[in-house]
A and B are shown apart, each in its own frame.
Chain A
Amino acid sequence: MGKILEPNIPAPDFNLHATPDQTLSLSELKGKPVILAFYPADWSPVCGDEMSLFNEILPEFRKYGAELLGISVDGVWCHTAFAEQRKLHFPLLSDFEPKGAIAKQYGAYREKEGCSERALFVIDKNGIIAWSYLSPVAENPGADGILNALEALPK
Protein backbone atom coordinates (compact mmCIF):
# COMPACT_ATOMS: atom_id res chain seq x y z
CA MET A 1 0.00 0.00 0.00
CA GLY A 2 1.52 3.26 -1.13
CA LYS A 3 1.44 6.45 0.81
CA ILE A 4 -1.06 8.98 -0.42
CA LEU A 5 -0.03 12.51 -1.31
CA GLU A 6 0.02 14.84 1.63
CA PRO A 7 -1.09 18.45 1.99
CA ASN A 8 0.81 21.49 0.77
CA ILE A 9 1.92 20.12 -2.56
CA PRO A 10 0.30 20.80 -5.93
CA ALA A 11 -2.32 18.22 -6.87
CA PRO A 12 -1.24 16.34 -10.02
CA ASP A 13 -3.36 17.43 -12.96
CA PHE A 14 -5.37 14.92 -14.96
CA ASN A 15 -7.66 14.75 -17.92
CA LEU A 16 -10.13 11.90 -17.67
CA HIS A 17 -13.42 10.88 -19.18
CA ALA A 18 -16.42 12.08 -17.19
CA THR A 19 -18.93 10.90 -19.82
CA PRO A 20 -18.40 8.81 -22.96
CA ASP A 21 -17.76 11.95 -25.01
CA GLN A 22 -16.46 14.47 -22.48
CA THR A 23 -13.29 14.76 -20.49
CA LEU A 24 -12.55 16.87 -17.44
CA SER A 25 -9.23 18.24 -16.19
CA LEU A 26 -8.42 19.30 -12.69
CA SER A 27 -6.90 22.50 -14.08
CA GLU A 28 -10.28 23.48 -15.55
CA LEU A 29 -11.61 23.78 -12.01
CA LYS A 30 -8.98 26.24 -10.78
CA GLY A 31 -10.58 28.97 -8.71
CA LYS A 32 -12.80 26.48 -6.85
CA PRO A 33 -12.04 23.98 -4.15
CA VAL A 34 -12.20 20.40 -5.43
CA ILE A 35 -13.03 17.27 -3.50
CA LEU A 36 -11.41 14.29 -5.17
CA ALA A 37 -12.81 11.01 -3.89
CA PHE A 38 -11.00 7.86 -5.01
CA TYR A 39 -13.01 4.71 -4.40
CA PRO A 40 -12.42 1.07 -5.29
CA ALA A 41 -15.37 0.28 -7.55
CA ASP A 42 -18.87 1.15 -8.68
CA TRP A 43 -21.78 -0.95 -7.43
CA SER A 44 -20.91 -1.58 -3.81
CA PRO A 45 -23.94 -3.39 -2.43
CA VAL A 46 -25.00 -1.20 0.49
CA CYS A 47 -27.46 1.63 1.04
CA GLY A 48 -25.66 4.85 1.47
CA ASP A 49 -22.43 3.62 -0.03
CA GLU A 50 -19.77 6.32 -0.19
CA MET A 51 -20.79 7.90 -3.52
CA SER A 52 -24.52 7.84 -2.65
CA LEU A 53 -23.79 9.43 0.70
CA PHE A 54 -21.69 12.19 -0.87
CA ASN A 55 -24.49 12.71 -3.38
CA GLU A 56 -26.87 13.44 -0.50
CA ILE A 57 -24.40 15.89 1.03
CA LEU A 58 -23.63 17.64 -2.27
CA PRO A 59 -25.62 20.79 -1.37
CA GLU A 60 -23.42 21.22 1.73
CA PHE A 61 -20.24 20.87 -0.34
CA ARG A 62 -21.60 23.42 -2.81
CA LYS A 63 -22.04 25.92 0.03
CA TYR A 64 -18.26 26.11 0.01
CA GLY A 65 -18.28 26.49 -3.77
CA ALA A 66 -16.62 23.09 -3.97
CA GLU A 67 -16.81 20.62 -6.85
CA LEU A 68 -16.97 16.93 -6.04
CA LEU A 69 -15.34 14.39 -8.35
CA GLY A 70 -15.57 10.65 -7.82
CA ILE A 71 -12.80 8.61 -9.40
CA SER A 72 -12.27 4.90 -9.88
CA VAL A 73 -10.80 2.53 -12.46
CA ASP A 74 -14.24 1.60 -13.77
CA GLY A 75 -14.93 2.24 -17.44
CA VAL A 76 -16.96 5.21 -18.57
CA TRP A 77 -20.06 3.15 -19.50
CA CYS A 78 -20.00 1.47 -16.13
CA HIS A 79 -19.84 4.88 -14.45
CA THR A 80 -22.71 6.12 -16.61
CA ALA A 81 -24.93 3.22 -15.59
CA PHE A 82 -23.92 3.52 -11.93
CA ALA A 83 -24.51 7.28 -11.82
CA GLU A 84 -27.87 6.85 -13.50
CA GLN A 85 -29.03 4.13 -11.15
CA ARG A 86 -27.91 5.99 -8.01
CA LYS A 87 -29.03 9.38 -9.39
CA LEU A 88 -25.63 10.91 -8.76
CA HIS A 89 -25.41 14.63 -9.47
CA PHE A 90 -21.64 14.93 -9.77
CA PRO A 91 -19.07 13.57 -12.26
CA LEU A 92 -17.46 10.17 -11.94
CA LEU A 93 -14.07 10.06 -13.61
CA SER A 94 -12.78 7.00 -15.31
CA ASP A 95 -9.15 6.24 -14.42
CA PHE A 96 -9.31 3.38 -16.88
CA GLU A 97 -6.61 3.69 -19.52
CA PRO A 98 -3.83 3.37 -18.59
CA LYS A 99 -5.53 1.75 -15.65
CA GLY A 100 -5.14 3.57 -12.36
CA ALA A 101 -2.56 6.01 -13.72
CA ILE A 102 -3.98 8.93 -11.76
CA ALA A 103 -4.56 6.88 -8.62
CA LYS A 104 -0.88 5.92 -8.80
CA GLN A 105 0.17 9.58 -9.01
CA TYR A 106 -1.83 10.32 -5.89
CA GLY A 107 -0.41 7.25 -4.11
CA ALA A 108 -3.89 5.78 -3.98
CA TYR A 109 -3.61 2.60 -6.06
CA ARG A 110 -3.86 -0.96 -4.79
CA GLU A 111 -1.55 -2.97 -7.04
CA LYS A 112 -2.73 -6.35 -5.86
CA GLU A 113 -6.43 -5.70 -6.38
CA GLY A 114 -5.97 -3.42 -9.38
CA CYS A 115 -8.23 -0.69 -8.04
CA SER A 116 -7.97 2.58 -6.17
CA GLU A 117 -7.85 3.03 -2.47
CA ARG A 118 -10.63 4.76 -0.63
CA ALA A 119 -8.78 8.07 -0.45
CA LEU A 120 -10.04 11.62 -0.13
CA PHE A 121 -8.33 14.84 -1.21
CA VAL A 122 -9.50 18.38 -0.71
CA ILE A 123 -7.70 20.61 -3.20
CA ASP A 124 -7.80 24.37 -2.71
CA LYS A 125 -8.72 26.89 -5.37
CA ASN A 126 -5.06 27.22 -6.38
CA GLY A 127 -4.69 23.52 -7.01
CA ILE A 128 -2.77 22.75 -3.82
CA ILE A 129 -3.72 19.72 -1.73
CA ALA A 130 -5.18 21.10 1.50
CA TRP A 131 -6.17 17.81 3.15
CA SER A 132 -5.93 14.13 2.39
CA TYR A 133 -7.21 11.02 4.08
CA LEU A 134 -6.74 7.32 3.44
CA SER A 135 -9.59 5.20 4.73
CA PRO A 136 -9.48 1.46 5.34
CA VAL A 137 -10.73 0.10 2.01
CA ALA A 138 -13.76 -1.61 3.56
CA GLU A 139 -14.78 1.48 5.51
CA ASN A 140 -16.80 4.29 4.01
CA PRO A 141 -15.05 7.36 5.47
CA GLY A 142 -18.16 9.54 5.69
CA ALA A 143 -18.00 13.26 5.00
CA ASP A 144 -17.05 14.85 8.30
CA GLY A 145 -13.38 15.11 7.35
CA ILE A 146 -14.19 16.75 4.02
CA LEU A 147 -16.48 19.33 5.65
CA ASN A 148 -13.88 20.15 8.30
CA ALA A 149 -11.25 20.58 5.57
CA LEU A 150 -13.50 22.83 3.47
CA GLU A 151 -14.26 24.90 6.54
CA ALA A 152 -10.54 25.34 7.22
CA LEU A 153 -9.76 26.67 3.72
CA PRO A 154 -8.82 30.35 3.65
CA LYS A 155 -11.76 32.36 2.39
Chain B
Amino acid sequence: MSKLTIPVSSADHIQGDIDAPLTLLEYGDYECPYCGMAYNIVKHIQKHFGKRLRFVFRNFPLVESHPHAGIAAITAEFAATKNKFWEMHDVLYENQENLAIQDLLNYAKSLDLPSDELQLAIEKDMFNEKIKNDFMGGVRSGVNGTPTFFINGIRYNASFEYENLLEALTEAEKSI
Protein backbone atom coordinates (compact mmCIF):
# COMPACT_ATOMS: atom_id res chain seq x y z
CA MET B 1 0.00 0.00 0.00
CA SER B 2 1.65 3.19 -1.17
CA LYS B 3 1.56 6.20 1.10
CA LEU B 4 2.01 9.86 0.44
CA THR B 5 5.61 10.68 1.41
CA ILE B 6 5.19 14.46 1.25
CA PRO B 7 2.45 15.69 3.56
CA VAL B 8 0.05 18.37 2.44
CA SER B 9 1.41 21.78 3.41
CA SER B 10 0.94 25.46 2.71
CA ALA B 11 3.16 25.00 -0.35
CA ASP B 12 0.31 23.02 -1.92
CA HIS B 13 -2.63 24.18 -3.99
CA ILE B 14 -5.59 23.42 -1.77
CA GLN B 15 -9.23 23.92 -2.67
CA GLY B 16 -11.86 23.82 0.05
CA ASP B 17 -11.66 24.04 3.82
CA ILE B 18 -8.03 23.78 4.87
CA ASP B 19 -9.02 21.91 8.05
CA ALA B 20 -11.41 19.52 6.31
CA PRO B 21 -11.26 15.96 7.70
CA LEU B 22 -11.11 14.41 4.21
CA THR B 23 -8.29 15.04 1.77
CA LEU B 24 -8.41 14.04 -1.86
CA LEU B 25 -5.06 14.66 -3.49
CA GLU B 26 -4.42 14.29 -7.21
CA TYR B 27 -1.18 14.01 -9.11
CA GLY B 28 -2.19 15.17 -12.55
CA ASP B 29 -1.09 16.26 -15.98
CA TYR B 30 -3.00 18.98 -17.85
CA GLU B 31 -2.69 17.25 -21.21
CA CYS B 32 -3.66 13.76 -20.04
CA PRO B 33 -7.16 12.87 -21.28
CA TYR B 34 -7.80 10.63 -18.26
CA CYS B 35 -7.07 13.60 -15.99
CA GLY B 36 -9.53 15.54 -18.11
CA MET B 37 -12.18 12.93 -17.36
CA ALA B 38 -11.27 12.97 -13.69
CA TYR B 39 -11.53 16.78 -13.63
CA ASN B 40 -15.31 16.70 -14.02
CA ILE B 41 -15.69 13.83 -11.59
CA VAL B 42 -13.70 15.66 -8.91
CA LYS B 43 -15.99 18.68 -9.31
CA HIS B 44 -19.00 16.48 -8.54
CA ILE B 45 -17.20 14.88 -5.63
CA GLN B 46 -16.40 18.31 -4.19
CA LYS B 47 -20.04 19.28 -4.50
CA HIS B 48 -21.12 16.15 -2.67
CA PHE B 49 -18.77 16.49 0.30
CA GLY B 50 -18.75 20.28 0.54
CA LYS B 51 -16.78 21.57 3.50
CA ARG B 52 -15.86 18.08 4.65
CA LEU B 53 -13.40 17.69 1.77
CA ARG B 54 -10.29 19.54 0.69
CA PHE B 55 -8.86 18.88 -2.75
CA VAL B 56 -5.13 19.16 -3.40
CA PHE B 57 -3.53 19.20 -6.84
CA ARG B 58 0.13 18.41 -7.54
CA ASN B 59 1.93 18.43 -10.88
CA PHE B 60 2.83 15.20 -12.58
CA PRO B 61 3.49 16.22 -16.18
CA LEU B 62 4.42 13.30 -18.42
CA VAL B 63 6.34 15.49 -20.83
CA GLU B 64 7.62 12.69 -23.03
CA SER B 65 4.06 11.65 -23.85
CA HIS B 66 2.45 15.07 -23.63
CA PRO B 67 4.51 17.84 -25.22
CA HIS B 68 2.39 20.64 -23.73
CA ALA B 69 2.06 19.25 -20.21
CA GLY B 70 5.18 21.05 -18.99
CA ILE B 71 4.24 24.52 -20.21
CA ALA B 72 0.67 24.04 -19.02
CA ALA B 73 2.01 23.24 -15.53
CA ILE B 74 4.18 26.38 -15.66
CA THR B 75 1.10 28.38 -16.63
CA ALA B 76 -0.87 27.10 -13.65
CA GLU B 77 2.03 27.79 -11.29
CA PHE B 78 2.41 31.25 -12.76
CA ALA B 79 -1.30 31.91 -12.15
CA ALA B 80 -0.80 30.68 -8.57
CA THR B 81 1.66 33.51 -7.93
CA LYS B 82 -1.23 35.88 -8.77
CA ASN B 83 -3.72 33.93 -6.63
CA LYS B 84 -5.46 32.47 -9.67
CA PHE B 85 -4.24 28.88 -9.60
CA TRP B 86 -7.66 27.25 -9.53
CA GLU B 87 -9.12 29.54 -12.17
CA MET B 88 -6.26 28.63 -14.49
CA HIS B 89 -6.42 24.95 -13.49
CA ASP B 90 -10.05 24.88 -14.62
CA VAL B 91 -9.39 26.75 -17.86
CA LEU B 92 -6.58 24.33 -18.73
CA TYR B 93 -8.68 21.23 -18.10
CA GLU B 94 -11.60 22.69 -20.01
CA ASN B 95 -9.33 23.39 -22.99
CA GLN B 96 -7.05 20.36 -22.95
CA GLU B 97 -6.94 20.14 -26.72
CA ASN B 98 -5.44 23.61 -27.00
CA LEU B 99 -2.38 24.01 -24.84
CA ALA B 100 0.13 25.57 -27.25
CA ILE B 101 1.98 28.64 -26.00
CA GLN B 102 -0.31 31.09 -27.79
CA ASP B 103 -3.36 29.41 -26.24
CA LEU B 104 -1.81 29.65 -22.79
CA LEU B 105 -1.05 33.33 -23.25
CA ASN B 106 -4.66 33.89 -24.29
CA TYR B 107 -5.93 32.08 -21.19
CA ALA B 108 -3.72 34.35 -19.09
CA LYS B 109 -5.27 37.40 -20.75
CA SER B 110 -8.77 36.05 -20.23
CA LEU B 111 -8.01 35.83 -16.50
CA ASP B 112 -6.52 39.33 -16.45
CA LEU B 113 -3.01 38.03 -15.94
CA PRO B 114 -0.01 39.68 -17.61
CA SER B 115 0.65 37.45 -20.61
CA ASP B 116 4.11 38.95 -21.19
CA GLU B 117 5.15 37.79 -17.73
CA LEU B 118 3.80 34.34 -18.48
CA GLN B 119 5.71 34.23 -21.75
CA LEU B 120 8.91 35.03 -19.88
CA ALA B 121 8.13 32.39 -17.26
CA ILE B 122 7.70 29.80 -20.01
CA GLU B 123 10.87 30.88 -21.83
CA LYS B 124 12.91 30.79 -18.63
CA ASP B 125 11.34 27.53 -17.48
CA MET B 126 10.42 29.15 -14.19
CA PHE B 127 8.75 27.02 -11.53
CA ASN B 128 10.86 24.14 -12.79
CA GLU B 129 11.95 23.30 -9.25
CA LYS B 130 8.42 23.32 -7.82
CA ILE B 131 7.09 21.17 -10.68
CA LYS B 132 10.02 18.77 -10.45
CA ASN B 133 9.60 18.50 -6.68
CA ASP B 134 5.94 17.67 -7.16
CA PHE B 135 6.85 15.07 -9.76
CA MET B 136 9.62 13.37 -7.77
CA GLY B 137 7.60 13.49 -4.56
CA GLY B 138 4.89 11.71 -6.51
CA VAL B 139 7.31 9.10 -7.83
CA ARG B 140 8.56 8.43 -4.28
CA SER B 141 4.95 8.04 -3.14
CA GLY B 142 4.22 5.42 -5.77
CA VAL B 143 2.46 7.57 -8.33
CA ASN B 144 2.29 5.28 -11.33
CA GLY B 145 0.56 7.30 -13.99
CA THR B 146 -1.99 10.04 -14.30
CA PRO B 147 -4.22 10.71 -12.62
CA THR B 148 -3.14 9.13 -9.33
CA PHE B 149 -5.27 9.94 -6.30
CA PHE B 150 -4.49 9.72 -2.60
CA ILE B 151 -7.29 9.65 -0.05
CA ASN B 152 -6.11 10.84 3.35
CA GLY B 153 -2.55 9.98 2.37
CA ILE B 154 -3.15 6.46 1.02
CA ARG B 155 -2.85 5.74 -2.69
CA TYR B 156 -6.23 5.01 -4.21
CA ASN B 157 -5.87 2.22 -6.75
CA ALA B 158 -9.41 1.61 -7.95
CA SER B 159 -11.28 3.31 -10.78
CA PHE B 160 -11.83 7.06 -10.54
CA GLU B 161 -15.41 6.82 -11.78
CA TYR B 162 -17.73 8.96 -9.66
CA GLU B 163 -19.40 6.06 -7.84
CA ASN B 164 -16.09 4.40 -6.96
CA LEU B 165 -14.46 7.56 -5.73
CA LEU B 166 -17.59 8.51 -3.79
CA GLU B 167 -17.65 5.13 -2.07
CA ALA B 168 -13.96 5.24 -1.18
CA LEU B 169 -14.23 8.73 0.27
CA THR B 170 -17.38 7.79 2.19
CA GLU B 171 -15.54 4.82 3.68
CA ALA B 172 -12.55 7.00 4.53
CA GLU B 173 -14.84 9.48 6.28
CA LYS B 174 -16.32 6.72 8.42
CA SER B 175 -12.91 5.58 9.58
CA ILE B 176 -11.83 9.02 10.81
Contact = CB atoms under 8 A, between A and B. Distances in A.
Interface in A35-77: 46-50, 52-53, 55-57, 60
A137 interface: no
Nearest to B141: A144
A143 B66 CA distance: 19
Given A47-B29, A144-B2, A139 B157 contact: yes
A49 B64 contact: no
A37 B145 CA distance: 16
B50 interface: no
B153 interface: no
A148 B135 CA distance: 16
Contacts, number: 62
A144 B135 CA distance: 12
B62 interface: yes
Given A46-B34, A47-B34, A147-B139, A140 B64 contact: no
Given A56-B62, A56-B64, A143-B139, A49 B157 contact: no
B143 A52 contact: no
B15 to A, nearest CB: 23
B136 A47 contact: no
Contacts of B42: none
B170 interface: no
Contacts of A89: 64
Nearest to A52: B65
Nearest to A88: B64
A39 to B, nearest CB: 12
A141 interface: yes
A142 B2 contact: yes
Contact of A47 (B2, B33, B140, B142): B33
A142 B143 CA distance: 6
Interface string A117-155: 000000000000000000000011111100100000000
18 contacts: A47-B29, A47-B33, A47-B145, A48-B62, A49-B145, A50-B144, A52-B145, A53-B62, A53-B144, A56-B135, A139-B157, A140-B144, A141-B144, A142-B139, A142-B142, A143-B139, A144-B141, A147-B140
Interface of A: 46-50, 52-53, 55-57, 60, 86-87, 89, 139-144, 147
Interface of B: 2, 29, 32-35, 60, 62-66, 135-136, 139-146, 157
Given A48-B65, A48-B145, A142-B139, 19 more contacts: A46-B34, A47-B29, A47-B32, A47-B34, A47-B35, A47-B62, A48-B146, A49-B145, A52-B65, A53-B62, A56-B64, A56-B135, A60-B139, A87-B64, A139-B144, A139-B157, A144-B139, A144-B141, A144-B142
